[in-house]
Amino acid sequence: MAERRKEELLKKRQKLEELRRAREERKKEKPDEPADKIEEKPNSSTNKKEELQRLLLELNLPSNNKPQTPTSTKLESETPEEQPTASPIPDESTPTPSQIAPSSPSIQASRFIPNFITFEAVILDIPPKEIVHYNKEVQTKDTSFEPPPPSEDEIRAKIVKEFEEAEKQRKAYEEEQKIKAEIEKKREAKLWELSEEEKKIIFNLPEFRDFIDTSTKYVERAINENYDIMRDYREGEDVDDDEEEGPRVKYVCSYFDDRWNKNRSVTDVNWSKKNPELFIASYNKNPYAVNDPDGIVCVWSLRLLDRPEFIFHSQSDVLTTMFSEFHPSYIIGGTYSGQILVWDMRSKSLPVFKTPLGAAGHTHPVYAMQMVGTQNAHNLITASTDGLVCSWQLDMMTQPQESLELVHTDHPKTEEVSVTTFGFQKNESTAFWVGTEEGNIYQANRYAHAGGKAGINHHDTYKGHWGPVTGLHFHPIDGQVDFSDLFLTSSVDWTVKLWRAKSVSKPTAGSQSISPLYSFEGADDYIYDVKWSPTNPAVFGCVDGKGNFSLWNINTDTEVPISTTKVGDRALNKIQWDKDGKRAAIGSSDGRVHVYDVGELCNPREEEWNVMQTKISEMMDTHDANAGRYALAK
């Protein structure tokens, strides 16, 4: 088709060339054509019209009766307009339109009026026929000319190559990152390098010191947490040595700070009831550190072994200390100067409240104090060696709420009662018992009542010790049997004695000397403190001047302790049980606080109360028999 088309176009071009050449030849042949022939051209156009009319007549159209068709009329009307400028100037030889008009009568005939009809057109949308062109490419597959797939060796080699390239890129990236990190580190070191003076200024800032102190405590607590993180729970539990049968006392830890506790003695220890892992210890003066405070109080934690949680200062030796039962953040201390100090763990090392030094408060050393009452109504009771007993409100320490001077007017030697220790019965807030330097124990009342006056009860004297009383503790447990009237005392006469307090509601008419129910004489040195177990009714512990911690069980044996532990070579001053009765904190004269675990010894057996009651009844019978024999002999 393309060849044929080319041939046709070539023929047309040749024909056009021939026509152009013929026209040029005609122009050359007739160069001097006269002007009159040129002017006759309008006549030729007229002749063409006449010839057209003649042709119409030959089509059997009537010339006179039927009008001319619209086509002829149009030609007639348009012909003069098409050649307005080409008409030559009329002359005699050229006929005018008026002369031609008679020869064509059909032009002036009447206008033809066609008849119109309506019809409905149906439009059909017929899609064009699809033309399909076939060639060799369509009839063959794409994969026919593709190269064959690679073999396994080629694939393996390609993968190895890609892996090697990726490994090289990774090493190059790591090397680049390492170089960048070193450059950044050097740049930061240059930017943040401080001078020695700037370091000293930062180290001495209080905020920096507080931050370091607090954060290091957190870390040390986590490190000292005694938990086996590698324990396999799929295996059977191993029986530890701690679970061996029989009485045993296990050493837990010793707490000592070389900066604050060196050359000091522990004067008192106590446990926190709200935070069972915290205990407190008070210390006396360090004669070799003149610039240090005379007295300090350290709050220790079982999870912080190397240093105390808090350290509080005092201008005088602190002789006794305790956590406030109703204000857990308060710590109370009695001093050698007679001041009562209150520290707050949320505050700094100095006391937030303190009593004045003067006649309004104590002027002699305060060795004993106790909190009595309830959450809504409680008082702090303190006693000094001059026999003055004061009652305080912690939020108003400027002066005591009440004062009571203990005086024994019937005493043969001196009226003054030098108090070294005292104690209240459980759930009792008015009557209390005091231990004195002379070894006697007296019952006293804070207020006057129907049977007696406020102050010392002159009629009853608890005699039994031959030296100063160092400790006094009432039975603390509520159980099947009421033992709240039993109390223990320790003395420098190497003995611990068990007493039964006389009822306050039944006063004695005359003077009466009350002797102990039993005397425990297993020690061979001064006994500085004694405490009942808070869980087992028959167990108590005591410490002596040879560094021995003795554990007694009245139901088991009254002649020898069930356990004696050598704590150290220095004298042990104080002992205190935690609220669970499992651990005992022991204060030493070398400034150390030792913690011991008594394990199962603190847990009472089912028959413990009944056995204890039987033992006490036997002691009372023996005591009454001995008292009768003594009265007869006298």
- CATH architecture entry for 250-633: 7 Propeller (2.130)
Assign 98 a pLDDT band (cuts: 50, 70, 90): very low
> What pLDDT score was predicted for residue 460?
84
pLDDT for the residue 31: 55
The 10s digit of each residue's pLDDT in 488-521 is: 999 999 999 999 988 776 666 667 888 899 999 8
Chain segment 453-480, per-residue pLDDT in tens? 788 888 888 888 999 999 999 998 877 8
Query: What average pLDDT does range 544-564 have in this prediction?
Result: 91
Nearest CA to 256 among 316, 298, 318, 212? 298
Strand ranges (E), 134-277 = 250-255, 266-271
Residue range 587-616, pLDDT digits in tens: 999 999 999 999 888 888 888 888 989 999
pLDDT at 243: 46
Task: Calculate mean pLDDT across residues 175-188.
Answer: 86
User: Per-residue pLDDT averaged across 167-184, rounded?
Assistant: 91
3-class state of residue 84 by DSSP: coil
Q: Quick one: average pLDDT of 342-347? A: 91
The pLDDT-based confidence of 91 (bands split at 50, 70, 90) is very low
Q: Give, in order, the Cα–Cα distances in Å from 546 to each of 66, 248, 281, 551, 630.
A: 164, 20, 20, 15, 35
Angle between helices 206-224 and 196-203 (to 10 degrees): 70
pLDDT value at 304 more than 50: yes
Poorest-pLDDT segment among 76-80, 255-259, 501-505, 572-576: 76-80
Among residues 280, 269, 318, which one has the least CA distance to residue 531? Answer: 269
pLDDT category of residue 247 using cuts at 50, 70 and 90 = low
Report the pLDDT value the prediction gives residue 85, as an integer from 0 to 100. 40
β partners of residue 344:
330
Confidence at residue 249, expressed as pLDDT on a 0 to 100 scale: 87
**Mean pLDDT of the 360-374 span:** 89
The pLDDT of residue 184: 84
Would you say residue 332 has pLDDT above 90? yes
pLDDT digits (tens, 9 = 90+) for 405-442: 888 776 666 777 889 999 998 888 888 999 999 888 99
One-character DSSP codes across 272-283: -SSSTTEEEEEE
Instruction: Supply the mean pLDDT for the chain.
Output: 80
Lookup result for tokens 């070799």 = 288
Pairing of strands 518-520, 496-500: antiparallel
Where along the chain do its domains lie? 250-633
Of the spans 23-27, 233-237, 367-371, which averages the highest pLDDT? 367-371
> Measured between alpha carbons, how far is residue 419 from residues 310, 319, 430, 499, 530 in Å?
30, 13, 17, 18, 17
Q: What is the share, in percent, of the chain residues with pLDDT greater than 90?
A: 32
Q: What is the pLDDT of residue 71?
A: 41
Asked if the model's pLDDT at residue 65 lies above 60, the reply is no
pLDDT score recorded for residue 509: 62
What DSSP designation does 107 have? G
What pLDDT, on a 0 to 100 scale, did the predictor assign at position 593? Answer: 95
